[in-house]
Amino acid sequence: MVERLPGANIVDSRWVLHVKKNAVGEIKKYKACLVAKGFIQIHGIDFYKTYAPVARLTSFHLLLAIAARNDWPVDTFDFDSAYLNSVLDDDNKIIYLEQPPYYATMDRRRYVWKLRKALYGLKQGAKNLYDALCKALADTGFQRTEADHGVFFKRIGMDIIVLAIHVDDCMITGSSVKLIGEFKIQMNKTCKLSDLGAIHWLLGIKVT
């Protein structure tokens, strides 16, 4: 919490409420997310680069076909509060955020938040998350494919595991169940994730 600076661009925020459902339409989770109103940000003052690649739908189709052909397991997981895994550094400029509606702890006219981590809605949020994930995956021995920068793979001896990432929704497959399990445990130490188990539902697509 810092005092409002004269002339500083203050980004507003809002609450987004969402009912998350599973493959059969049953309510799975109620979510409340504080998001920044990124359209208030000013290029060159609050952000520079924004682009972040995601795995193409055709890549998911291809990996599912390969997994089916080789009888590989296919699991899914997603990152909890994904954007909070990325830290805002000096390259991302300083971002001030209005205190959330109905949750102000100090005088809203005088005090604002100085963000340390990215929030959903920020222009650079997706890029920061992607950069953080690339670093975490590189540290665990993964390489990024040239054909699709949202797909990563790792070879260990005769085995291979392949990971496709679409923002915070991920699908993983490979020739070794043990390696897949070890990867999820290791990744959870860096970026907290929810293991969804065998694939049934991904990006609005039901998988049988």
* Number of compact structural domains in the chain: 1
Helix (H) or strand (E) holding 189: helix 177-190
Q: Given this model, what pLDDT does residue 91 score?
A: 59
Q: Given this model, what pLDDT does residue 134 score?
A: 87
CA 67 from chain centre, in angstroms, equals: 24
> Distance between CA atoms of 46 and 172, rounded to whole angstroms?
35
Model confidence pLDDT, tens digit, residues 179-192? 888 888 888 887 77
Query: What mean pLDDT do residues 96-116 have?
Result: 84
Task: Give residue 84's domain range.
Answer: 2-206
If pLDDT is split at 50, 70 and 90, which confidence band does 90 have?
low
> Distance between CA atoms of 150 and 44, rounded to whole angstroms?
27
Please state, in angstroms and as integers, the Cα–Cα distance from residue 124 to each residue in 8, 49, 116, 187, 208, following that order: 18, 6, 13, 23, 36
Model confidence pLDDT, tens digit, residues 4-32? 888 888 999 888 898 987 767 788 888 88
Q: Given this model, what pLDDT does residue 23 score?
A: 66
| pLDDT beyond 80 at 140 | yes
Between 12 and 46, the higher pLDDT residue: 12
Token pair for residue 121? 């809605």
